[in-house]
Amino acid sequence: MRKQIAAANWKMNLTLEQGETLIDEILSSPLNVNEDKLAVFAVPFPYLINVKNKLAVKKNVFAAAQNCYNKKSGAYTGEVSAEMLKSIGLQYVVLGHSERREYFNESNAMLAEKVNICFENGLQPIFCCGEPLSIREAGTQNSYVETQLKESLFHLTADQLKGFVIAYEPIWAIGTGKTASSDQAQEMHAHIRSVLAAQYGNAVADSISILYGGSVKAANAKEIFGKPDVDGGLVGGASLVAAEFTTIINSLK
Ligand code: PEP
């Protein structure tokens, strides 16, 4: 069975103290996690070690980085390498979030390099894809997302892609309060899985967790996660509120 994942994306929010309080509140609530249902917290770089240590009291909850650089090491002031993340014992890294693509010009080709460097360091990417509003309005979202996947992932072997994690996040639904309907999410997730199956076969496609992201909240998580090809969510705003994110974790199927 592929993993169901509720992943928090704190983005550039919260002080360390606020973040630790949030984690404490979430960990003190009953969490329905197990080996197949995970909670992941993508937190700002300076908090990773603290958050990772806090989460160590509970199984099946993990810290994640929100990004890493596409070079191994060297004169790249201000950047963080995959090797550094590995050295603090991380397993997960969010790559290619639409905010990074837009504000930091991350291209599909650059993301392919980031994926490679994560694999070289034993890190599992949570690879984000998704179309802007203009593409959705033009009705070409399927081929847009397909190109993102092909250009950043399709150089990988079937073995590398087995158990991979993708987050489909329509940009028009991120932080806007405008959620894709559960049917729109299912439609795209099924498309993504069919594209993966055509390239790598059904077994690999079925092993890949495809998370939905875009204004997921406690009130809509169960319906969205209930769709057959939706394997959880990547959550921004609602992950900053303990009661919201706890309910979201407990909405995984
Ligand atoms: C995100 O940051 O990936 C996201 C989906 O944000 P929000 O849940 O706030 O729309």
- E-state strands within the chain: 4-9, 37-42, 61-65, 92-95, 124-129, 165-168, 209-213, 232-235
Averaged confidence pLDDT in the chain: 97
201 Cα: distance to centroid of ligand 1 (angstroms): 30
pLDDT digits (tens, 9 = 90+) for 129-173: 999 999 999 999 999 999 999 999 999 999 999 999 999 999 998
Q: What is the mean pLDDT of residues 180-199?
A: 96
> Can you tell me which atom of ligand 1 is nearest the CA of 11?
2
18 Cα: distance to centroid of ligand 1 (angstroms): 19
114 class by beta-carbon count within 10 Å (0-12 exposed, 13-18 middle, 19+ buried): buried
Residues 4-249, CATH architecture: Alpha-Beta Barrel (3.20)
In this structure, are residues 167 and 211 in contact, taking their beta carbons and an 8 Å threshold?
yes
Residue 201: HSE in the Cβ half-sphere, 13 Å Cα cutoff: 7
Task: Please check the confidence at residue 175 and state whether its pLDDT lies above 90.
Answer: no
Go through 203-237 and write b for each residue having 16 or more CB atoms within 10 A of its CB, e for each that does not.
Answer: ebbebbbbbbbbbbbbebbeebbebebbbbbbbbb
Catalytic residue among 99, 131, 169, 244: 169
Residue 48 CA, distance from chain mean position: 16
Residue with the smallest CA separation from ligand 1 atom 8 is 236
233 Cα: distance to centroid of ligand 1 (angstroms): 9
pLDDT at residue 153, as a whole number: 98
> Can you tell me which atom of ligand 1 is nearest the CA of 174?
10
Question: Residues lining ligand 1, judged by CB closer than 6 Å?
Answer: 9, 11, 169, 174-175, 213-216, 234-238
> Can you tell me which atom of ligand 1 is nearest the CA of 97?
3
CA 122 to CA 53: how far, in whole Å? Answer: 19
98 Cα: distance to centroid of ligand 1 (angstroms): 10
Paired residues of 33 in beta bridges: none
189 classed as catalytic: no
- C-alpha angle 218/193/227, rounded to 5°? 30
Whether the full predicted model's pTM is greater than 0.95, yes or no, is yes
The length of the chain is 253
Task: Please check the confidence at residue 177 and state whether its pLDDT lies above 90.
Answer: no
